[in-house]
Structure 1
Amino acid sequence: MRIIPRTMSTQHPDNAKVPEWAKSEVIEGEDEVKEAFLAYSMYGVHEVMWDAEGKDVDTHVVRKLLSNYPDYFREHILGKDVFLTYRLPNPKVEGADRKVFAETMESIPITYDLAEKFYGNGITVPVFEVILPMTTSNLEIISVARYYEKAVANEDELELYDGVKVKDLVGEIYPKVIEVIPLVEDRDSLQNIDNIVEGYYKVIKPKYMRVFLARSDPAMNYGMITAVLSVKIALSELYKLSESLNFEIYPIIGVGSLPFRGHLSPENYEKVLEEYKGVYTYTIQSAFKYDYDYDKVKSAISSINNSRIGPAKILEKYEEDVLRKITILYTERYQPIIESLANAINDVSVLLPRRRARKLHIGLFGYSRSAGKVSLPRAISFVGSLYSIGIPPELIGISSLSNLDEKEWDIFKQNYVNFKHDLQTAARFFNWESFELIKDIWKISEDTIAKIKEDIDYAESVIGIKLGGIDYDSRKHILMSSLFLLSFKEKILQESKKYLYEMALIRRSLG
């Protein structure tokens, strides 16, 4: 059995600080190859996700890693000791990148040939897994697996002319199959993940399966509590399915540093391990790596790598029903408020520092109303924008919990263990002055302001959260938030950008 990685370095652009080795503030090109090497060698991460979604992908990464760092990769075999996993664009969702999907898949046999030259015949398959984002059905991941088998691996048997086959021209194509990791990002798919996985299992018959559970995008689209509880439902369903099929499933969770995006940081990793029992692999995003002291980062990654994997909490049907109910109530409260704040979020997001070379990606908000759909930036910019205007998104929608009875509240607390801790961590950045300023700048309605005030009142009076600055850093952040809003109002955008950067440094994450 292969090693299942415990940590996966990603290229999420959530870092406030720029690493010393980067040639510019925007990490791109050759720097991302170097970053992959450093993730393995300096930080001790087991796996690197090489992202082909939303950017111009470098499909020669394996060649560059092996040629630039031969000593390291002779000792640490790529594909056996450390792992490189491609994240594809989803061709059904990202139509403009369909050919990038094809190009990335076509590059996998090239990596095999390179490894054969470097390591010798049959030693390793350097890239054998791909991640499909925004997976909503088993048909999507079945199609990816079959595409590789039929359109890539089997093309070596195609006859070109007069008995001459493709393999006579370019050699045989290996590997013959790849493993597909579904990245599940929407609420309904997370809560019905067993259908996605079981359907794939029945057709493809893999020996095991890795399943990637998103935390950021579900939080942005449906609210933090909905995201957490949907992941808990997914973990329970996956473990039940694993037992019923007698088939190993290894969950991955995509978590950022701030509470809204998962709260995995070098200072909070132990609580995250406690929260998400049953998860095998945790993403180590850029803020985790670059916004904290190196020794603390390396120690935290080592601890995660060596931590015990506890079983996921298996939910009884009545518990699952309660959690599903909470996600609906919470989302109904959360989404209209976010819709009303969309202009503010979008205006602020374009001023945040850029940390990666990414194509412009505006995501459609996760639901539709009769008035149309609201466009929002990606999750990191979304979170950074709301923190910067002094309204951490963790607080929005909280008062929906007032609809729970005592038994439902107990079930909620049992299944979101660190709820109060996460909320308190975020609430210290809440800025009371924001209401008047955002009302003035973006004409936010009194109704929206009243709803947010109900949420913060509930957080304070019922949950016992202290809102606003409780230490030097949080008080400084609140002051910067007010200064940012004032400078934005006066259109002094260079100062606005400076305050945004200073706040990100305090949070140790852009968003």
Structure 2
Amino acid sequence: MPKLMATQHPDSTIVFTPQDEVKEAIEDVIPLERGGRGCDEKMVDYEGKATPYSQIRAIIEEARYHDIVPGEDFLITPRVPNPRLEDKDKHLLAITAAVTANMYSQMYFNTNAVQFIVLPMSASTIELAEVQRRILKVERLVAEEFSLRREEWIRLIPLFETSESHMHIDEIIEGLRIAFIKEIGLFEKEFRVFVGKSDSAIHGGHITSSIGIKMAILKMWRWQQNTMFKSYPIVGMGKPPMRGHMAEWVRNEWVEAWKGYFTATVQSALRFNTDRKDYVATVMTIANNAGKVPDLSLLDEEQRLISMAWKASEVYVQRLDRLVDAIQFMSKLVLGTRARLDTYKRKAKTGKEMPRAIKFCASMYSMGLGPSLVGASVIEDFAKGDAYNLEVLMKFLTLLKKDWGFDLAYSNLDVFKKYVDEKTFEMIKKDIDTIKEYFGDLPSPKTPDEKYMNKLKELREKIEAAEISRAKALVVELAEMRGFLG
């Protein structure tokens, strides 16, 4: 299975046009020893993006000039729009682009470059069976009309992006296996299952989403140990703690915290806002630790952890409801680095429209608050309920203290209080004070200098003076100093 999946997330400070993305893809999959980025899978993203349908074919054709073979040296794995959330024609056209691209892969290399398709925001087993059937239908049509060879069908990868689905992942996979048999007569023995940190974090908070992702990885391993089938977890994470903290400064801790993954997403900020030496060390560490068996005894405290997760989500959502207006305002200053569609929106649990995860995080840092801190005072409730709760939580989420340490270092409450009302500020201050009360001054794996804090203050001043162009530039400058946009 591929270990490193390069993606097109707009979390770096580098701007890409759809035309740039073909060259980018080739550089992503050229081996490290040849000066490339060493990934063995490239996600071409159609979810909420204005990606040309010809992009997959263009990558295949460009590969001819670089001594790399799609389908052997690397895979191209498109993420197609979910027809429940985006236009149905975009969904069908993206599937068709993926299937027809294999005609060119077979023509030039005698391989299938596209062997998997990702469906984002997967919700039900019936929905997934319908999409897999749709892929098979398109493959049959292209095979009949244009001589596509069908040695193997393109398999669907469900991408689950809610903590609820993460915590029940084993039941969902088993249900999906049965739905494939009943609905389309497809007997699958192996499943690649994708779990995403960002959306679950934005909607339920950092603690809840972290518990959910960890539980999903463990439950997928337990499911395969209890059955004759195989699962290969893919984790989707970015550099900020809220989005998974897959960063060069905690690479060794990261592979231990999320042990059990088979594939990890290598998002844009890790590729383009990281020094080459650190990048190489990070992706090699991630690849070398892929597929290691996690400690399944951690699931012994499953019910305790689930109870803490939902309590943490409740506290986080209370805070989010008060922060959302400020986040929406700040998100308008955040650079868009990929050709995204403005029509594709997400809503918070409170019902209010929210920016997507990267702009959400960028907005929070630009206001002077690390987003993983929001709602963290819930640990006081955990400790009061049972002193053992915090011990269980910290054993389960081994990276949590460093997540908070990083975000504490990049927070400035003197700046943040200028963006929110007094009650909201006091709630956030309590979150930070509670962390310090229980864990002291947590060290940060990376520390900003005084220049960073001065730019945070300048950004607020430029907003107050309505100097918007300078404010937008400062948001990017702060991102470059952090090592990620959001």
TM-score per shorter chain, which class? over 0.9
Distance 1:399 1:251, change over 3 A: same
Task: Compare 283-292 and 106-115 and name the one that shifted more.
Answer: 106-115
Distance 1:279 1:466, change over 3 A: closer
Distance 1:215 1:470, change over 3 A: closer
Q: What CA distance in whole angstroms lies between the structure 1 residues aligned with 2:236 and 2:441?
A: 27
Other-structure match for 1:35: 24
Q: What CA distance in whole angstroms lies between the structure 1 residues aligned with 2:142 and 2:104?
A: 18
Other-structure match for 2:43: 49
Other-structure match for 1:248: 230
Matched residue of 2:193: which SS? strand
Q: What CA distance in whole angstroms lies between the structure 2 residues aligned with 1:364 and 1:183?
A: 16
How far the C-alpha of 1:156 sits from its partner, in A, is: 6.1
Matched residue of 2:439: which SS? coil
Q: What CA distance in whole angstroms lies between the structure 1 residues aligned with 2:304 and 2:201?
A: 19
Distance 1:447 1:264, change over 3 A: same
Other-structure match for 2:52: 58
Contact 2:139–2:150 (CA under 8 A) maintained in structure 1 = yes
- Does 2:11 match 1:14? yes
Q: What CA distance in whole angstroms lies between the structure 2 residues aligned with 1:107 and 1:432?
A: 49
How far the C-alpha of 1:65 sits from its partner, in A, is: 2.6
Q: What CA distance in whole angstroms lies between the structure 1 residues aligned with 2:142 and 2:353?
A: 44
Matched residue of 2:134: which SS? helix
How far the C-alpha of 1:291 sits from its partner, in A, is: 0.7
Q: What CA distance in whole angstroms lies between the structure 2 residues aligned with 1:464 and 1:358?
A: 42
Contact 1:264–1:272 (CA under 8 A) maintained in structure 2 = yes
Matched residue of 1:72: which SS? coil
The letter of the residue matching 1:52 is Y
Distance 1:494 1:296, change over 3 A: same
- Does 2:154 match 1:154? no
Other-structure match for 1:391: 369
Matched residue of 2:253: which SS? helix
Other-structure match for 2:408: 427
1:201-260 deviation line (CA, Å, top 9, x unaligned)? 122322311111111111111111111100111112111111122211110111101111
Q: What CA distance in whole angstroms lies between the structure 2 residues aligned with 1:43 and 1:468?
A: 27
Q: What CA distance in whole angstroms lies between the structure 2 residues aligned with 1:329 and 1:185?
A: 19
Contact 1:50–1:87 (CA under 8 A) maintained in structure 2 = yes
Matched residue of 1:267: which SS? helix
How far the C-alpha of 1:312 sits from its partner, in A, is: 2.3
1:308-329 deviation line (CA, Å, top 9, x unaligned)? 5321232566511111111111
The letter of the residue matching 1:455 is D
Q: What CA distance in whole angstroms lies between the structure 1 residues aligned with 2:219 and 2:54?
A: 38
Q: What CA distance in whole angstroms lies between the structure 2 residues aligned with 1:424 and 1:302?
A: 25
Q: What CA distance in whole angstroms lies between the structure 2 residues aligned with 1:495 and 1:308?
A: 43
1:168-194 deviation line (CA, Å, top 9, x unaligned)? x53356466221111100111111112
The two structures have a TM-score, normalised by structure 1, of: 0.88
Q: What CA distance in whole angstroms lies between the structure 1 residues aligned with 2:324 and 2:10?
A: 21
Matched residue of 1:181: which SS? strand
- Does 2:414 match 1:411? no
Runs of 4+ with >4 A deviation: 315-318, 466-471
Q: What CA distance in whole angstroms lies between the structure 1 residues aligned with 2:375 and 2:320?
A: 10
Matched residue of 2:342: which SS? coil
The two structures have a TM-score, normalised by structure 2, of: 0.92
Matched residue of 2:158: which SS? strand
How far the C-alpha of 1:8 sits from its partner, in A, is: 0.4
1:307 is aligned, of 273, 285, 289, to 289
Other-structure match for 1:69: 63
Q: What CA distance in whole angstroms lies between the structure 2 residues aligned with 1:464 and 1:425?
A: 14
Distance 1:470 1:63, change over 3 A: closer
1:85-134 deviation line (CA, Å, top 9, x unaligned)? 0101111122x2x1111112122332222122212xxx421112000000
Q: What CA distance in whole angstroms lies between the structure 2 residues aligned with 1:6 and 1:45?
A: 8
Other-structure match for 1:129: 116
Matched residue of 1:447: which SS? helix
Q: What CA distance in whole angstroms lies between the structure 2 residues aligned with 1:153 and 1:308?
A: 31
Distance 1:189 1:114, change over 3 A: same
Other-structure match for 1:106: 96
Other-structure match for 1:82: 74
1:239 is aligned, of 221, 235, 242, to 221
Distance 1:140 1:352, change over 3 A: same
Q: What CA distance in whole angstroms lies between the structure 1 residues aligned with 2:111 and 2:121?
A: 29
Other-structure match for 2:477: 502
Task: Compare 460-469 and 352-361 and name the one that shifted more.
Answer: 460-469
Q: What CA distance in whole angstroms lies between the structure 2 residues aligned with 1:206 and 1:320?
A: 28
2:429 is aligned, of 447, 453, 461, to 453
Contact 2:99–2:142 (CA under 8 A) maintained in structure 1 = no
Other-structure match for 1:228: 210
Structure 2 matches for 1:289-438, cutoff 5 A? 289-307=271-289, 309-315=291-297, 319-360=301-342, 363-368=345-350, 373-404=351-382, 405-438=386-419
Matched residue of 2:98: which SS? helix
Q: CA RMSD in A?
A: 2.1
Task: Compare 7-16 and 352-361 and name the one that shifted more.
Answer: 352-361
1:392-432 deviation line (CA, Å, top 9, x unaligned)? 11111111011122221111111001111111011111112
Other-structure match for 1:23: none
Task: Compare 384-393 and 479-488 and name the one that shifted more.
Answer: 479-488
Contact 2:319–2:374 (CA under 8 A) maintained in structure 1 = yes
Contact 1:460–1:467 (CA under 8 A) maintained in structure 2 = no
Matched residue of 2:69: which SS? coil
Q: What CA distance in whole angstroms lies between the structure 1 residues aligned with 2:290 and 2:105?
A: 32
The letter of the residue matching 1:78 is P
Q: Give identity over the alignment, percent.
A: 28
Contact 1:387–1:393 (CA under 8 A) maintained in structure 2 = yes
Q: What CA distance in whole angstroms lies between the structure 2 residues aligned with 1:184 and 1:279?
A: 15
Contact 1:345–1:385 (CA under 8 A) maintained in structure 2 = yes
Distance 1:449 1:362, change over 3 A: farther
How far the C-alpha of 1:60 sits from its partner, in A, is: 2.4
Contact 2:117–2:154 (CA under 8 A) maintained in structure 1 = yes
Instruction: Decide which structure has the larger Cα Rg and report it.
Output: 1
Matched residue of 1:80: which SS? coil
Contact 1:115–1:124 (CA under 8 A) maintained in structure 2 = yes
The letter of the residue matching 1:478 is M
